[in-house]
Chain A
Amino acid sequence: MDTFVQQLINGLTIGAIYALIALGYTMVYGILRLINFAHGDIYMVGAFVGYFLSYQLGFATGPSLLGLSVVLVASMIAAALVGMAIERFAYRPLRKYARMTTLIAAIGVSLLIENLFVARLGAAPRAFPQLLSEQSYTLFGNAAISKSQILIFAVSVALMLLLQWVIFKTKVGTAMRAVSFNLNSAKLMGINTDFIISFTFALGSALAAAGGVLTAQYNPQIDPLMGILTGLKAFVAAVLGGIGNIPGAVLGGLLIGIAETFVVGYGQNVGIPSTFRDAVAFAILILVLLVRPSGLLGSTVQEKV
């Protein structure tokens, strides 16, 4: 039982990170019908901005909650700017062409960011400074939850609630929803669609950067290619939950995280080696696409083209 609870906590932790990244995929898709493949790399950019900031601002010397909050917020802002720049210079000029063009541009941007980082910083993993003291609390007998896990849960829940508030309670959120219904009609209604799209990228990128900094507290190893697999899994999570659907992205992220951890934790007992963890996410993707192409919470409304 302890082990089960522990594995559940482990799974929810990585699931929360996937969920944060999946939100960015799903919001951009909801508005532009674009799969932003560079999103996983924004997650990496966020982690690296946090890494350099911690050293620049002198927070790398020891755990400090102030340092962590500053680094977290600053890297979210930096990543938001990067996300907006990508949209402005790589996607906006292509918006009038076929959707496939932008998709390929997204793959190009992703490769560009990764290789720029490798060229400038090298592919060797770096150690993210510890901004949170190493401490674990015990619950349910033997199940341990570490400070970094609590942080991941707390920050991701807070960010998700904040996002929900922005989308449903603010003017800009209303505009976002309008744009996601129909971009051209929204424009006719006087909504500055370019600004809304830009805002959506900023929001999604900030969430991904938060994911990057939070993971780095849990697993301090960061490298320029860390966004590839994590980004792909977050994308799978978005599809699993129903791409374009915000609660779906969260649900999908948590499910993928738990599935992965359970494969590692219990797979051996039924003959699935733990090295199959990554395969599971993609097997789930194929299953979902076969059985329920619109995802778990996705709308079944036919898309008008």
Chain B
Amino acid sequence: MKRLLLSLLLIASLLFAFACERKGGPGAGGQTGPIIIGYYGDLTGRTSNFGQSTKAGVEMAAAEINKAGGLNGRQITILSEDDEGRPEKAATVVTKLINQDRVVALLGEVASGNTLAAAPIAQAAKVPMISPSSTNPTVTQKGDYISRVCFIDPFQGAVMAKFAVNTLKAKKAAIMLDFNSPYSRGLTEFFEASFKKLGGEIVDKQSYTQGDRDYKGQLTAIRSKNPDVIYVPGYYGEVGVIAKQGKQLDIKAPMLGGDGWDSTQLWDLGGDSLNGDFISNHYSVDDPSPAIQKFVADYKARNGNVPDALAALGYDAMKVLADAIKRAGTTEGPQLKDAINATKGFVGVTGTISLDAERNAVKPAVVLKLQDRKYIYQETIYPEGMTAPAAPAAPATSPAAAAASPK
């Protein structure tokens, strides 16, 4: 027992020493040599499609910057860590990136639950962190070093509610949520509020947890309430199966989802059952704007597949960070954070990025229809106070739509 206590004490003091090291250590925030940026994401776990796509986007952006001569004459090095999609692991790898690898800034995560675990660590160490695609509102409330380049769930939930009521003319909605995910719970809350405000009724609310294998119990209960639409704000792994089992139960109502659906594996799991469902997303690969089509083509040449929204957001996050480093002229945390937070009118692949006072990007969302392994553009929904530009953002179909089918 004594020995155990002693060894624990030893480990604790070692950890403490490591934790303190950063402050005075050589190289921290150094102004020469490569700029080291940390990326953390789920590379092997249940949501690994997310992490892999985002990583590919981040790396592509970094490669472009390096090819163009780097930032302030310095090259960028991306250090990636795998958090296996687990919040506790995210906290560990971010601690490692900050204390051992001395990264000047962090990019990550996709799933809000993992970002929420890492954010306080980055905040305490004064290392700026940009989340490419965590949409839960509480993420950036962890502190002024945390920002994001995507819209947030109150908006995303409202978008789907608006689309359901205005376009699909739905009156009754059921919700099937992932009980343990902050992302899913957040979207549920905001969808429910907006849907009710627009005069709709929530007829049933069922929940599952990540890794469940059977959803027919919940789906049968939902079916008995005869909803017009079913809102399923989850991640692709479960959603694909939910869609399949829904069709097996002969449920005709379309399912609605969010950006968590966007992954090629969704189609491997759900197949044709997904046809006719709708999701809200950050961008559409069918958008004819030259910037987007160039990004899609470059990404395909580099990675061999069509970039999903997560790859595009990873790309934008890296570019926003690079822009801030250029403007700040330094990689020191406090100045860099101020430069990031001052980002205004940055033209990215996923739209024009301006960070508001809460360090959230204010951007429109697109609604896509799922059909035969393709995401077909339906409409763009703008946040309150932001109006549509003169030209429509994307047409219903374009040659790129054919290219959108993976493999």
Contacts and interface: CB of A to CB of B under 8 A. Distances in A.
Interface of A: 2-3, 6-7, 10-11, 13-14, 122-127, 130, 134, 136, 138, 142, 144, 146, 148-149, 215, 218-221, 223, 226, 230, 260-266, 268, 273-275, 277
Contacts of B216: 6, 10, 13, 261
Given A10-B214, A127-B268, A268-B206, A219 B221 contact: no
A262 B217 CA distance: 7
B220 A10 contact: yes
Contacts of B250: 136, 138, 142, 144
Question: Chain A interface secondary structure, helix, strand, loop or mixed?
Answer: helix
Nearest to A124: B48
Interface string B32-56: 0000000000001110110000000
Contact of B241 (A14, A123, A138, A220): A220
Question: Chain B interface secondary structure, helix, strand, loop or mixed?
Answer: helix
A219 B268 contact: no
Contacts of A261: 214, 216-217
Interface string B257-287: 0000000010011011100000000000000
Given A127-B269, A134-B247, A220-B244, 5 more contacts: A127-B240, A218-B214, A219-B244, A219-B245, A265-B218
Interface residues of B, number: 38
6 contacts: A124-B46, A138-B250, A219-B214, A221-B237, A265-B221, A274-B206
B84 interface: yes
A138 B143 CA distance: 55
A17 to B, nearest CB: 9
The 3 closest A-B pairs by CB, nearest first: A264-B217, A127-B268, A146-B248
Given A3-B223, A277-B217, A125 B248 contact: no
B382 interface: no
Interface of B: 44-46, 48-49, 84, 179-180, 206-209, 212-214, 216-218, 220-221, 223-224, 237-238, 240-241, 244-245, 247-250, 265, 268-269, 271-273
Given A219-B245, A220-B241, A261-B216, A124 B45 contact: yes
A32 to B, nearest CB: 29
A134 B271 contact: yes
Contacts of A13: 216
Contacts of B271: 130, 134
B217 A2 contact: no
B80 to A, nearest CB: 15
Contact of B207 (A6, A136, A274): A274
B213 A274 contact: no
A274 B46 contact: no
Nearest to A257: B214
A274 B223 contact: no
Contact of B208 (A7, A221, A275): A275
A14 B217 CA distance: 11
Contacts of A138: 250
